[in-house]
C-alpha cells in the first residue's frame, strides 16, 4: 500500500499543492479507479490514525519554543504566496499567474512569478522529507519524484510543473484576463447586433392592426411573414431565448413610430409563445444587467426555473478496424428536453485526445481536439427528443479519448454528457501476420524506488514510469505487437506476491492484453526459498501457475502445451531430481507442460545437466552472461552464434527437445558495479536477429529484453534511439527466410 502512495504523489500537480482536500480526493479517486477502495479503507482503519499520505504536505516548523506541524500552504502564506478561489496565484495579494493544468503568467508579472516559483522550489526542497514525519517509502518518493533531491538527476530534468514553468518562463505567453473578458464581451455584442439585424429585416414583413378588445380595451393584432415558428425557431434558432429577448427589448427602446409598435408586438408575441412570465422577465432583465456589467451573457438566468435537457445512451462504437487498430468510430446519443414545448435547438460533440500529465508528451503522437456541430438524424431540430450520430474518421490513436456531447434547448439550457473510449492503438497489430513467434522478456517491477535504486543508462520514452499504470501497459502492448512481437514472458516470483498481483490486477485488466500472448518467466528471485522444503515450494508454485493461468485464453501454448520459462535453470539443482519433479507436474496438471530452460551457452551446450532433464524439457534457450569489454566483441559474439546456434539445435534434437534462440541488443551493468558490457549497435543487432530467426525450429525466438533498463538490454523505445530496434524487428520478422 505504501508503494501505491508513492505512485500517487509522483503525480501531485500545482493546484493540489495548496489544498489537503484535493490531495485526499486524488488518493480516493486513484483507489476507486484501480478497484482497491475497500482495501485502502481497511488499511487506514488498521492504522488507527491519519494515514501517511495526509502528512506528506505537512512539515515541522519552529514556532516560539515548540515544533509544530503545519500544512505546506501555510508556510507559503507566511512568504506572501497564496492561491485564491479564482485559481490565481498571488504574491503579497497581487495576482501574478493563473493556475490550471499549466501555470500561465499574467501580463507584466513574469518577474513576480519568478520570485514565487523560486520560493516554492526552495521550500519544497528544504522540506523534502522531515525524518520525524515521513516513512522510508515516502522519502524515496520525495527523493526521486518532483522534489528533486536525487543528485544524479539535474533539476532541469524534473517534470514538476513549478520547475518546468520556472525553466521556460521566458518562453510562456502572457495572459491578460481583462482582454480575454473584453473579447468575450465583444463577441456577445456582435451576436446581439446580428439578432437585431434579423429582427429589423422581419419588421418590413410584419403588419400590426389596431383594434379594441371587447370594444373597450385597445389592443393590436400582428401578422408575420414568414410565420412565428419559421422566423424565431429557424432563422434565430441558434440563439438562446435570453439573447433574442434582450435584443427585442433593446430595439423597443431604440426605435420610434411604427417600428416601435411592430417591435413591441413582436416582443409580446415572443413572451406569450415562449412562456415568459413576469417573474422570468425580471430574471431576464437582471441577467441582461449582469451581462452588461461583466461582459458575459448569463444565460442561466433565464433557465433558473427550467430543467436542462438530458443526454441518454451516449455510446462509442468502432466502425473500421484493421488488424486490431481502430481507424474510424461512431458516437451516438439521444437528447431530450425536460419541459414541454421547449425543443432541442443545438448540439455539438467534442472528440478530445487524452493527455496524461504523468507521462512525457513525446511518447504520444500529436493530435488535436475535434469539434462537430451536429444536426439530428432526421435532418432538423423540430422535436423535444432528437437522435444524433457522428462518424469520427482517421483516428491516430496511441491513447484514450474523451468524448463530450453538449446540447442546448430553445430556452438556452445546456445538457452535457461524456465518456472515455478504451485505449485506441497507434499501430496495427502485425505480429500474427508473419510466420515466426517473437517474444520479449517483460519486467513488471518499476516504481520510483526501483528507478532510484538501480538507475538506467538511458531514458525510457515513457519516462520513469510505474509498471502499475495501465496506460503504460497498453502502450507497451501496442508498440510491441505493432512491430512483430507476439508474446511477453513475464517475470514472476511467487503466488500472491507483487508480480503475481501485477499480472492479475494490471496486465490482464489492460484493454490491449487480449492482443498479445503471455507466459510465466519463473524468476529471478523465485529460488530464494530458505534452507528446507525447496522441492515442495517449487511444486506449490508450479501448481498455482497451472491453476491460475493455463486456462487464460491469452496464455502462450507451443505445440498445444502451456509454456513456462526458467531463469538460470542450472541453479535449480537445489531441487533434487528436477527431471522427476517436472514429470510429476506434467501428470498432475493433466497436460504436458512446455518447460523452457536456459541450459546452454556458446561453449558447453548439451553437457552437464543430464539426459533425463533435457528430455523432459520442451525447449532450451541461451542466456548470455559472458564478459565482454571491447567493441569488436560483437564480431566475436556473432561469429560464435553463427557457428554454434545450428549445432545447438541439432544437439537438442537428439533428446527430442527444441532450441529457442535468443538475441540481445546490448548489455551494460557497469553503473551497478558490474563489469559486463556489450555496446548498443542496431546493425549488429540486425545480424544477430537474422541468425536466430534462420535457426529457429520451431519458429520461436526470444529477445532479452523488452524492458530490463538496469542492464540496458531493453528494446522498448528510449529517448536516445526512439523506435530503432522495434523497426528492425518489424522489418526482419516479416521477411521470409
Are 714 and 706 a contacting pair, CB within 8 Å? yes
Domain boundary pick from 147, 172, 197: 172
| Same domain membership, residue 375 and residue 276 | no
Note whether 473 and 549 are same-domain residues. Answer: yes
CA distance 307 to 415: 9
Residue 425 lies in a domain: no
Higher pLDDT, 622 or 376: 376
Q: Is the pLDDT of residue 92 over 90?
A: no
Mean pLDDT of all residues belonging to the chain: 77
**What integer is the mean pLDDT of 509-521?**
97
What does each C-alpha distance from 59 to 50, 71, 72, 646 come to in angstroms? 15, 7, 7, 64
Q: Do 156 and 118 belong together in one domain?
A: yes
| Cell reading at 632 | 569488436
Which CATH number does the domain housing residue 614 bear? 3.20.20.80
* Least confident window among 38-52, 474-488, 570-584, 653-667: 38-52
692, pLDDT greater than 90 = yes
Res 348: pLDDT: 94
- Alpha carbons 85 and 102: distance in angstroms, whole number: 16
- The answer on pLDDT for 124 being more than 80 is no
Residue 484: pLDDT above 90? yes
Between 216 and 518, residue with greater pLDDT:
518
Rounded mean pLDDT of 636-646?
88
Indicate whether 437 belongs to any domain.
no
Q: What is the structure's pLDDT at 611?
A: 74
pLDDT, position 255: 79
pLDDT at 420 over 90: yes
Mean pLDDT in residue range 651-666: 90
Distances (CA, A) of 514 to 327, 469, 498, 556: 18, 17, 22, 12
Among 468, 475, 540, 472, CA closest to 504: 468
Q: Region 387-392: what's the mean pLDDT? A: 96
Give the Cα separation of 403 and 388 in Å (integer).
14
In a domain, 416, yes or no: yes
pLDDT of residue 48: 36
R_g over Cα of the chain: 34
- Do 505 and 557 fall into the same domain? yes
pLDDT, one tens digit per residue, over 575-604 is: 767 888 888 898 887 788 999 988 766 655
Nearest to 304 by CA among 406, 410, 412, 408: 412
CA distance 561 to 618: 9
Compute the distance between CA of residue 345 and CA of residue 38 in angstroms, rounded to an integer: 44
Rounded CA gap, 558 and 701, in Å? 12
| More confident site: 131 or 463 | 463
Identify the band that residue 250 occupies on the pLDDT scale cut at 50, 70 and 90: confident
Once rounded to an integer, what is the mean pLDDT over residues 392-421? Answer: 92
Kindly indicate the confidence band of residue 29, based on its pLDDT and cuts at 50, 70 and 90: low
pLDDT at 237 over 70: no
Are 63 and 202 in a shared domain? no
Cβ partners under 8 Å of residue 602, min gap 6 = 622, 626, 640, 641, 644
Provide the pLDDT for residue 66: 43
* Per-residue pLDDT at 462 exceeds 70: yes
pLDDT tier, 14 (very low <50, low <70, confident <90, very high otherwise): very low
Identify the top-confidence range among 230-244, 281-295, 703-717. Answer: 703-717
The domain that contains 405 carries what CATH number?
2.60.40.10
Most confident by average pLDDT, 173-182, 582-591, 720-729: 720-729
Whether 502 is covered by a domain: the verdict is yes
Cα within 13 Å of Cα(79), Cβ side: 17
**Could you tell me if 343 and 296 lie in one domain?**
no
Neighbouring residues of 539: CB distance < 8 A, sequence distance ≥ 6: 581, 584, 585
- Residue predicted with more confidence, 122 or 394: 394
Task: Show the domain range for 632.
Answer: 450-734
Give yes or no for a contact between 664 and 638, defined as CB atoms under 8 angstroms apart: no
Residue 437 pLDDT > 80: yes
Q: What is the mean pLDDT of residues 271-279?
A: 62
Q: When comparing pLDDT for 7 and 333, which is higher?
A: 333
Q: How far apart are CA 365 and CA 179, in angstroms?
A: 33
Is residue 455 left, alpha or beta, with left meaning phi > 0 and alpha meaning psi from -120 to 50? left
Same domain for 168 and 182, yes or no, is no
Query: Residue 82 pLDDT more than 70?
Result: yes
For the chain, what is the domain count? 4
Q: pLDDT above 90 covers what percent of the chain?
A: 35
Which one is predicted more confidently, 285 or 571? 571
What string of H, E and C letters represents the secondary structure of 93-137? CEEEEEECCCEEEECCCHHHHHHHHHHHHHHHHHCCCCCCCCCHH
pLDDT at 327: 98
Most confident of 69-78, 105-114, 285-294, 626-635: 105-114
Find which of 43-47, 137-141, 534-538 is predicted with most confidence, using mean pLDDT.
Answer: 534-538
Same-domain status, 145 and 159: yes
Lowest-confidence region among 65-79, 278-292, 513-527: 278-292
Mark whether 370 and 507 lie in a shared domain: no
In a domain, 429, yes or no: no
Q: What is the model's pLDDT at position 64?
A: 39
DSSP codes of every residue in 275-286: T--HHHHHHHHH
In terms of Cα–Cα distance, which of 82, 158, 154, 72 is closest to 116?
Answer: 82
More confident residue, 200 or 226: 200
Most confident stretch, 519-528, 625-634, 670-679, 699-708: 699-708
Residue 263, all three cell numbers: 417591435
Ranges 397-406, 637-646, 673-682: which has the least confidence: 673-682
Domain end call among 254, 271, 301: 301
Lowest mean pLDDT among 9-13, 240-244, 498-502, 534-538: 9-13
CA distance 488 to 517: 6
Residue 555 reports pLDDT greater than 70: yes
pLDDT above 70 (res 47): no
Which among 117, 177, 147, 162 has a CA at the least distance from the CA of 10? 147
Last residue of a domain, one of 118, 147, 172: 172
Q: Is the dihedral angle over the CA atoms 717, 719, 723, 728 positive or is it negative?
A: negative
Q: What is the pLDDT of residues 340-359, one digit of tens each?
A: 557 888 999 999 999 898 89
Distance CA(67)–CA(59), nearest Å, equals: 10
What pLDDT is attached to residue 232? Answer: 66
Residues 661 and 716 in one domain: yes
Asked whether residue 628 is assigned to any structural domain, the reply reads yes
Check whether 56 has a pLDDT greater than 60: no
In a domain, 219, yes or no: yes
Query: In the predicted model, what is the mean pLDDT of residues 138-167?
Result: 47
* Residues 156 and 182 reside in one and the same domain: no
Counting residues of the chain whose pLDDT is more than 70, the rounded percentage is 66
Q: Give pLDDT, residue 476.
A: 98
Average pLDDT of the residues in 402-427: 91
687 domain-assigned: yes
Kindly report the backbone phi and psi dihedral angles of residue 664, in degrees, each rounded to the nearest multiple of 5, phi listed first: -135, 145
Residue 212's pLDDT is what? Answer: 55
**Which is higher by pLDDT, 688 or 498?**
688
Query: Is the domain of 327 the same as that of 288?
Result: no
pLDDT at residue 205 in the model: 72
Residue, of 68 and 670, whose pLDDT is higher = 670
| DSSP SS3 for 347 | strand
Please say if the pLDDT value at position 63 is more than 50: no
pLDDT for position 258? 77
Q: Is 728 helix (H, G, I), strand (E, B) or coil?
A: helix
pLDDT at 319: 97
Amino acid at each position: 500500500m505504501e508503494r501505491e502512495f508513492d505512485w500517487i504523489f509522483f503525480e501531485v500537480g500545482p493546484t493540489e499543492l495548496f489544498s489537503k482536500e484535493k490531495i485526499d480526493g486524488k488518493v480516493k479517486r486513484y483507489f476507486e479507479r484501480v478497484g482497491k477502495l475497500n482495501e485502502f479503507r481497511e488499511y487506514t482503519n488498521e492504522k488507527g490514525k491519519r494515514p501517511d499520505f495526509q502528512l506528506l504536505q505537512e512539515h515541522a516548523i519552529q514556532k516560539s519554543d515548540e515544533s509544530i506541524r503545519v500544512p505546506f500552504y501555510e508556510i507559503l502564506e507566511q512568504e506572501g504566496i497564496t492561491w485564491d478561489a479564482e485559481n490565481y496565484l498571488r504574491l503579497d495579494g497581487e495576482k501574478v499567474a493563473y493556475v490550471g493544468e499549466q501555470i500561465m503568467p499574467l501580463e507584466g508579472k513574469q518577474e513576480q512569478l519568478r520570485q514565487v516559483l523560486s520560493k516554492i522550489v526552495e521550500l519544497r526542497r528544504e522540506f523534502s522529507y522531515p525524518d520525524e514525519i515521513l516513512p522510508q517509502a515516502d522519502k524515496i518518493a520525495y527523493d526521486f519524484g518532483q522534489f528533486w533531491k536525487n543528485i544524479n538527476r539535474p533539476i532541469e530534468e524534473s517534470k514538476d510543473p513549478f520547475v518546468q514553468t520556472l525553466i521556460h518562463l521566458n518562453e510562456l505567453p502572457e495572459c491578460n484576463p481583462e482582454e480575454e473578458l473584453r473579447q468575450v464581451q465583444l463577441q456577445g455584442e456582435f451576436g446581439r447586433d446580428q439578432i437585431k439585424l434579423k429582427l429589423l429585416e422581419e419588421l418590413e414583413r410584419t403588419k400590426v392592426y389596431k383594434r379594441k378588445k371587447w370594444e373597450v380595451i385597445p389592443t393590436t393584432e400582428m401578422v408575420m411573414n414568414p410565420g412565428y415558428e419559421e422566423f424565431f425557431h429557424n432563422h434565430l434558432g441558434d440563439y438562446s431565448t435570453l439573447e433574442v429577448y434582450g435584443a427585442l427589448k433593446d430595439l423597443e427602446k431604440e426605435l420610434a413610430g411604427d417600428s416601435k409598435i411592430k417591435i413591441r408586438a413582436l416582443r409580446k408575441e415572443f413572451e406569450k409563445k415562449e412562456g415568459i412570465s413576469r417573474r422570468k422577465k425580471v430574471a431576464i432583465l437582471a441577467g441582461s444587467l449582469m451581462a452588461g456589467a461583466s461582459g458575459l451573457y448569463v444565460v442561466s438566468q433565464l433557465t433558473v426555473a427550467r430543467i436542462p435537457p438530458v443526454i441518454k445512451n451516449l455510446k462509442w462504437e468502432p466502425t473500421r478496424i484493421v488488424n486490431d487498430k481502430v481507424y474510424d468510430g461512431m458516437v451516438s446519443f439521444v437528447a431530450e428536453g425536460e419541459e414541454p414545448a421547449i425543443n432541442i435547438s443545438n448540439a455539438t460533440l467534442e472528440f478530445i485526445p487524452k493527455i496524461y500529465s504523468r507521462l512525457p508528451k513525446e511518447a504520444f503522437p500529436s493530435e488535436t481536439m475535434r469539434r462537430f456541430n451536429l444536426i439530428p438524424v432526421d435532418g432538423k431540430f423540430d422535436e423535444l427528443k432528437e437522435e444524433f450520430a457522428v462518424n469520427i474518421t482517421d483516428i491516430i490513436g496511441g491513447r484514450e479519448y474523451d468524448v463530450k456531447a453538449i446540447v442546448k434547448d430553445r430556452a438556452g439550457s445546456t445538457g452535457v454528457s461524456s465518456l472515455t473510449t478504451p485505449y485506441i492503438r497507434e499501430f496495427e497489430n502485425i505480429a500474427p501476420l508473419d510466420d515466426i513467434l517473437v517474444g520479449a522478456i517483460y519486467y513488471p517491477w518499476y516504481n520510483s524506488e526501483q528507478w532510484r535504486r538501480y538507475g538506467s543508462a538511458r531514458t525510457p520514452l515513457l519516462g520513469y514510469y510505474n509498471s502499475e499504470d495501465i496506460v503504460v501497459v497498453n502502450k507497451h502492448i501496442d508498440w510491441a505487437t505493432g512491430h512483430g512481437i507476439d508474446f511477453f514472458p513475464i517475470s514472476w516470483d511467487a503466488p500472491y506476491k507483487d508480480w503475481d498481483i501485477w499480472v492479475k490486477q494490471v496486465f490482464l485488466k489492460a484493454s490491449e492484453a487480449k492482443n498479445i500472448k503471455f507466459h510465466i518467466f519463473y524468476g529471478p528471485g523465485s529460488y530464494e526459498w530458505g534452507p528446507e522444503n525447496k522441492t515442495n515450494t517449487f511444486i506449490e508454485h508450479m501448481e498455482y501457475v497451472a491453476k491460475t493461468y493455463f486456462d487464460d485464453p491469452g496464455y502462450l501454448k507451443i505445440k498445444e502445451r502451456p509454456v513456462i520459462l526458467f531463469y538460470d535453470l542450472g541453479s535449480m539443482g537445489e531441487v533434487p531430481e528436477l527431471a522427476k519433479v517436472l514429470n510429476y507436474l506434467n501428470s498432475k496438471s493433466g497436460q504436458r507442460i512446455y518447460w523452457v530452460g536456459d541450459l546452454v551457452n556458446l561453449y558447453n551446450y548439451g553437457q552437464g545437466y543430464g539426459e533425463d532433464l533435457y528430455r523432459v524439457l520442451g525447449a532450451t534457450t541461451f542466456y548470455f552472461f559472458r564478459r565482454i569489454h571491447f567493441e569488436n566483441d560483437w564480431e566475436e559474439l556473432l561469429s560464435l552464434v553463427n557457428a554454434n546456434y545450428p549445432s545447438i539445435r541439432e544437439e537438442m534434437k537428439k533428446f527430442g527437445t527444441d532450441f529457442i534462440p535468443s538475441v540481445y541488443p546490448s548489455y551494460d551493468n557497469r553503473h551497478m558495479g558490474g563489469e559486463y558490457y556489450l555496446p548498443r549497435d542496431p546493425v549488429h543487432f540486425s545480424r544477430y536477429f537474422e541468425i536466430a530467426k534462420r535457426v529457429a525450429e520451431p519458429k520461436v525466438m526470444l529477445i532479452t529484453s523488452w524492458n530490463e533498463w538496469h542492464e540496458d538490454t531493453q528494446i522498448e523505445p528510449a529517448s536516445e534511439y526512439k523506435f530503432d530496434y522495434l523497426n528492425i524487428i518489424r522489418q526482419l520478422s516479416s521477411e521470409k527466410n
